[in-house]
Amino acid sequence: MEFISQHPVLVVSVVKIAVLLFIVMTALAYLTWFERKVVAHIQSRWGPYYVGAHGLLQPLADGLKFLFKEDITPPASDKLLYVLAPFLALSLALTAIALIPFGPPGVRVLGQPVFVVSNVDIGLLFLFAITSIGVYGVALAGWSSNSKYPLLGGLRSSAQMISYEVSLTLSVVGVLLLAGTLSFNGIISGQGGYWLGFIPRWHIIPQIVGFLCYLTAAIAETNRVPFDLPEAETELVAGFHTEYSSFKFAMFFMAEYANMITVSCLATILFFGGWLSPFPDSWKWQLFLPGAGLLLLGAYTAYDTAVVMRGIARIQFAVVTLLALGGGAICLIPPVAHVIQGPFWFVTKVIVFLFFYVWVRGTLPRFRYDQLMSFGWKLLLPVSLANLVVTAFVILFLARRG
């Protein structure tokens, strides 16, 4: 106890890191399930269905499969870099999430904010610093495999990341001009308040062009469809991770999903008010939205348990029902409802972005390499530059007048 009271920062940080890591890892696993389900329904299929009810245990089965597969290291590879690359990719992707504030800084335990692991003053710059190093995971994987297709994938990846990182950074500068700070907490609390009493003052409205640029560049940065040229399977087998198997492959997979979560969180923070609610404070019923949502989910699964499910799936769904109903009831208790407001809105917005990602993947065909380059340099870059210049002029103009 004495140790805890003497080193609150250390103790709370370690606990926060452990909890966040657990949540993020689970979220990564179920993001794969979410993606497969949504893409399946877009393509008029059912998606995973047999492992657990509605395929809910599929991520667990996949994880076990990755763990027990043979781990092959190509004899001609550069051993050190071959092992280093997946570690680099995953650890950097996870480090970036430590900077994201999931809720208001006011909620504190032992004087430490609960909803962010590391509250850095220049959070945005640090996030960009970490993600800009992330390209080495992919590039080194491609190089160290010592094989044609991975090398091509690694090359494409580095070229793509260099090209789109410029637009990504420039598209965000408009928001920085409006916010006047690099700290995530500052950027979010700057978006509080409402126009006409009910339209939230989020940066998406003045910065719609910047947001569209950010969204496009972010998809390219995370190597997702339609910009997934580094791993285009019709051209490059599996691109940079062709030679990787077993858990090293799983690490690249997890890194990609972690990056998706990071850029979605960033979009939420910069353009959609982070943990702020879209409704004015006076609308008190919004406090009970998370609880009501969980109760609705519980009612649906209860119906499924009673009518649709058979055999072992029925037992699994009964557990899900109990969890949802119990969680919903707890969330309706006023103090709990107050505390989870911030994280609830944050997570909801992030899920909307993740859905958008999957939607795009299910809908759009892949770019050709030259299209990718000319799109990035000839369209995205000038537009985000113009957005920056116009924003700067408008801010100066309004400052002169007011």
Partner 1 sequence: MSLPFLVFFACAILAVAGAIVLIVAREPIHSALALILVMMALAVLYILLGAEFIAAVQIIVYAGAVMVLFVFVIMLLNAGVEERTDWSKIAKWIGLPLGFFLLLEVAHWLAHSSVGKAVANGAGGPQTAFSTTELSTALFRQYLFPFEATSILILIAILGALVLARKAE
Which residues form the interface with partner 1 (CB under 8 A)?
78, 81, 120-122, 125-126, 128-130, 132-133, 135-136, 139-140, 142-143, 151, 154-155, 158-159, 161-162, 165, 182
Measured CA to CA in angstroms, residue 167 lies from 114, 197, 269 at distances of 33, 34, 18
Shortest distance, position 244 Cβ to partner 1, whole Å: 17
Q: Tell me the H-state helices in 274-311.
A: 289-303
Please identify, using beta-carbon distances, which residue of 120 and 323 lies nearer to partner 1: 120
Please identify, using beta-carbon distances, which residue of 56 and 135 lies nearer to partner 1: 135
Please identify, using beta-carbon distances, which residue of 131 and 321 lies nearer to partner 1: 131
Shortest distance, position 218 Cβ to partner 1, whole Å: 16
Please identify, using beta-carbon distances, which residue of 78 and 235 lies nearer to partner 1: 78
Shortest distance, position 154 Cβ to partner 1, whole Å: 6
Please identify, using beta-carbon distances, which residue of 103 and 150 lies nearer to partner 1: 150
Shortest distance, position 137 Cβ to partner 1, whole Å: 12
Shortest distance, position 345 Cβ to partner 1, whole Å: 28
Contacts 24+ apart (CB under 8 A), 188-197: 188/101, 188/269, 188/273, 188/274, 188/275, 188/276, 191/273, 191/274, 191/276, 192/273, 192/276, 194/280, 197/280
Shortest distance, position 81 Cβ to partner 1, whole Å: 7
The residue written with tokens 């637009």 in the block is 167
Contacts 24+ apart (CB under 8 A), 192-201: 192/273, 192/276, 194/280, 197/280, 198/279, 198/280, 200/273, 200/276, 200/278, 201/273
Please identify, using beta-carbon distances, which residue of 52 and 153 lies nearer to partner 1: 153
Shortest distance, position 382 Cβ to partner 1, whole Å: 16
Please identify, using beta-carbon distances, which residue of 186 and 362 lies nearer to partner 1: 186
Kindly provide the b/e burial profile for residues 217-251, where b requires at least 16 CB atoms within 10 angstroms of the residue's own CB.
Answer: bbbbbbbbbbbbbbbbeeebbbbbbbbbbebbbbb
Number of neighbours of residue 315 by Cβ within 10 angstroms: 11
